[in-house]
Structure 1
Amino acid sequence: MAQNLINARLGNYRIQRLLGRGGFAEVYLGEHIYLQTAAAIKLLYTEEQSTYQFLQEARLLAALRHPHIVSILEFDLYHDRPFLVMEYLPYGTLRQRFPHGSRLPMETLLVCIEQMAEALDYLHGGGLAHGDVKPENMLLGTGDQLHLSDFGIAILANKRKEQTLVGTINYMAPEQLQHQLQPASDQYALGIIAYEWLCGVPPFTGSYVEVATQHALIPPDPLRERIPDLSEEIEAVILRALAKEPEQRFPSVGAFANALASAYYGSLVTERRDMLPPIRLAPTALSPHLGHEQFTLSAPIPTQPERSLNPHSDQKVSRRSLLIASGTGMATLGLIGGAGLLWWKNTQPTPNTISQTPMPTVVQPTRPRGGVYSSYHGQNGPISSLAWSPDGIRIASGSSDTFNPASPSSNEHLIHVWDALTGKHPVIYQGHTDTIYVLAWSPDGKYIASGGIGSDSVRSASLQVWESTTGKQVASFENDYSTITQIYWHEANQILAIGGTSGHIIRWNPFANVSDIQRFAKGNIDESYTCSVSPNGKYIVTRDENVVYSLADEQLISTDTTEGGYSPTLPYFWSPNSQRCISLHYRYPPEIWDPRTGQRLAHCAQQGYAFTIGWSPDSQKVASYGQAGAILLWNTDTGSILYTYAPHTSDVYSLAWSPNGHMIANGDEKGRIEIWQAV
């Protein structure tokens, strides 16, 4: 069968080679005949009378959209045999990455469990259960993200359910043995996986019948008998997930994942460890270098209430990104098999109606003013830009660092996205090849727009948009007119970007690739003289004339009357409310003025000259760094000093306030970043 299908056309794809066979399907590598993109094609063993039911099931599968679930791209028939076209993930499965007998560091285990919990709670929220959760069905994708696969063609499971159990016996819940698959069954399977990854062996072993009997009747051996130094709290969480009765387990898989994380971080605080244990894993072909995180446990570990990852819930969703590596490069055989994506509750909404959870309000723990939450050392080049996510949970940092500091490449400029309070779980974006001047999150936190110097020679656009959780590029602005120095998201799908050395104002919808470009004609704007646009998009100030114009009609509004040494490349800094502007001077302190009238308002005399500025979100305070060698917080009405912070780093190149205005992130010339309490 395999040889006969090589070069055969299935839908829009041509078969390249066989990836593997399972009990329900063959899986092939296919290539789109027009786009020349790769996909995994699952060709099912099924009977003609099952075809209609398969098509109904395939429509359901195709509606699933989640960053940790393998996407269905297409489905059709080939000589009356149904097939699914799925995204191709060539980096192997977690079973290949962690063979039988592997024992994982707790942090690695946690991020695996949490990503799978997100995927499973998404399924459960749509009235579905997976039924075959196991490491073989967890695939590694780009950005070291996990994808849950093999929703095992429920049509076949349904046809055979009275004769054949759906699932894998080592991970099968007691109720599943009685053909009563439900969401708690998936939690049980994930609990088995956690148990196995901690001690190296699953709780139950033996023949098929022996393992089934143990699932149904025998409690698992306590983990602390196998791992004496394991905390009682961690053991209790896993044993609860392995309760024989579904109602005795956690209310959701997300609640299990959260309880496991809380038990671990709580034990760290109890033991008063100086630092979380580092994870050193084999590099992948995709990400040969992942920055080492450093953590400061002088700050309290954030605790969270139990929460469900159900997309219909109003509770918080875990944002941790997987930081594990796959050195296998093996084919994605996890697409093969017979899992059981089954309806478990007819009253649940279908995935076609699944809506996204609104951005939650996050309550951050507090520290005394000047107290450090975390230090991030994952980058090795100057930090040129910083931006907080809208919920204040993550930070994006851009620099000129490289994957391999010992052999730097001039065209590597990386952006890391990481947890602000812990410095953990970075996602790395590699789309830029020159300096990254600005980063901006979309209002919903799903995307990041990054801007800087573009390069035609290596096809690196100066303005790019990408997914914040995966690092996957969504769009790039190909009509590069200049270096991008400012980016604002004005709506969920509208970006205002400024070419600071050319005077181009770009209004762009990256998802529809629709743009409008305005070239500001007044003044002398070139690579020597910069311009800056207000956040509301109404005004532009030019450095050559030091005047403000209206963007709508290019009429003169006011003149910058502040005094001091000017440089054509010194930028202006607009307040978030667009009502004030800071001028930097070559030999004098920064000064605040009203761009609508030109009136001088305040300056910080103690600062001396400054070269790094950050406005607070309420436009009432400024953080600046320069000649004084410290970060000064000062009042924008009076210029009086509110607080002085001596950073534990070298010269500060970038500053960013948290959305709630309580914390500041500062990055230095050596790639180090601190998060500290400012207010």
Structure 2
Amino acid sequence: MDETKSNKNRAIRIGQQLGNYRLIGVLDQGKFSGCYLGERISSKQQIVVDVLQPSLAEDLAKSFFQQTYALSQLVHPHILHIHEAGLTEDHLPFLVFDYVVHVPLQQLYPKGTAQPLTRIFPHIQQIAAALQYAHDRGILHQHIHPGNMLQTSNNEILVCGFAIDAIAQNKQRRSPGQVIDNVAYASPEQVRGKSCPASDQYSLAIAIYEWLSGDLPFHGSPVEIIRRHAHVPPPSLRQKAPMISPAIEDVLFTALAKDPTKRFASISAFIKALEQAQQPGNAPHPTKSITPPPQLATAAATRPAMAPVPSHQWTSSPAMQQQVQQAQVIPVTAPAPMQNPLPVQAPALVQPPAPTSKPIARPKAKQEMTMTRRAFAMGFTALALAGGAGGWLALSRQFSHTTTGTNAPTDTNNTVSTPGAKGNGVLIYRAHPARVTSLAWSPDGKRIASASDDRLVNICNSTTGTTLQTYRGHSAEVYAIAWSPNGKYIASAGADKTVQVWDANTGNMLLTYNGHSGSVTSVSWSSDSRLIASGSEDKTVQVWNATTGNQVILYNGHTAGVLSVTWSPDNTMIASGSWDNTLQAFSTIPTDAFAVGDLVFSYAGHSAEVYAVEWSPNGRSIASASGDKTVQICNGINGKTLRTYKGHSGIVLALAWSPDGKRIASAGADTTVQVWTAVNGQKVFTYHGHTNSVFATTWSPDGKRIASAGSDNTMQVISAP
């Protein structure tokens, strides 16, 4: 019997307890691992548990705990931290990480799209800092590629996916020939089983080459790619990206030297040289021979060819199979584990990174941000939970009025206001135990629907906060909801790749739309409640009949995942925002100039992904929120830029026009909701009530209240100024 299949049949069940944790949901299932949403039993804090396949051989258990202990000591602002490691009763190894929303850089910088060095360099510096920190402590990464680099909502990078040699050896024993799929980034010596610090430098240089040119240097079968890494110089970077200076190309090609001793002395030296090369007239840093730390010099001779990342593999040549099977475990000096799971603690002198969260999956808006469910699951900075029964909590006013574009100080008076009263009241709804991703007011303003990563949609009374209904139809995180203009229906969508239409009064499901092949990040109703537009990580916007589910338009103009969709008030166009940094408007009716589905205009004013788009109530303008920290307003007919709002200090994830079209509320990773005038961009007030990224904001139909929600697991309603 196939060992992998045998292990897959071993029961990992929802509700199962693994050490101090209980599994509460499935995030992803791959061939070599299963990712589960879990919670710490004592505190109910959400975490991610990665259960690896196959079961671990007894003679490798000690090495597994030694190596995971060593990795747990890596406590750095840009390294994804392993909290605990253990074995199930079936000897399946598992790892415990924090739960966070993020997007992998392979999603942020998609293949085929060249990036300017000025944009990616801050990320490169953070990655390099993490790798240098690990190298200084005798630990190699060995899996450097964009999928193991995660951007959080505050634009910071977390490096994850460090090799665990015991897992690699275990897989080779049970499934000979199966190794990782990242040979495109592997150095010549790494393939030979001779990894050293310069191997990570080489892999990072490959990633930078890909980002700058939009293409990898080598293509072909795994064996052909390995051969080219070993013997063929990389193609000229400047031919693919003419804007790159000779100095930058020289630095990159030094890091890509076939001989590791010809590369830079360290990751830090490499990045310093790259920084210097960006300065006009500066020559690249001279090549230095490498003197690795003693631990790594010893380890290099015994490092396995490549340790697999769960769920990714390719079939190696017989020679490589033999190299991997003969590889030895790196000795790691660490206390012997006393029990399973193994609790691990950070060194006393190193402070762990502050909790953060990421854009979306709306994922984060998407990305989560978009990202695959696997990628979403593997983000790792703590997300505080604010559990509890549904209902409003009345607090003092926490927004500040201002007549300028700057933030005013937060009002700290402790006066408690009456829930629902006009004035200083702040009403907080805490019924979701996870991030709240989307909000929708009922057309009559009496109810608010909230969607969450907990897979639920709640409907509450907008005045009392009483939970009126909970919809449980989704099997994964819910990223978007929209109330039909006639008030009868709600459309909800998310990571299960479906859009579900259900009765807003009874909760009965009426239709499930399965047209998308990726997570659905946004939904929008036509003003007559007949059609629904849905945007997805599959790069499409699909328009379909809300009653029959029949598709009427398929728009595929975006080159990356779609994060937001919105109908024009007259139903003649749909606008969409995407990871490709554009806002695109296409026609929904035939005209003299455009057929149905034709692009009317593409707005390229943003320098980063577009998380939210919304048409003004009069249909003349479109506002868009972006990862470049701005909200921009363009002409709704020709896409001409009308205004740019720069009041936010972080990624802007959400926006909403006031019903009269005079003001815009915007919110994002800086934890604020800001209200400003649409005509001149003057800030009216800033609300500081949230403690984490804000993913949704919306005005009540009468324009008197504003609701917002996000990663602090709350929905909050304030009186509009």
Both structures adopt the same fold (TM-score exceeding 0.5): no
Give the TM-score category using the shorter length: 0.3 to 0.5
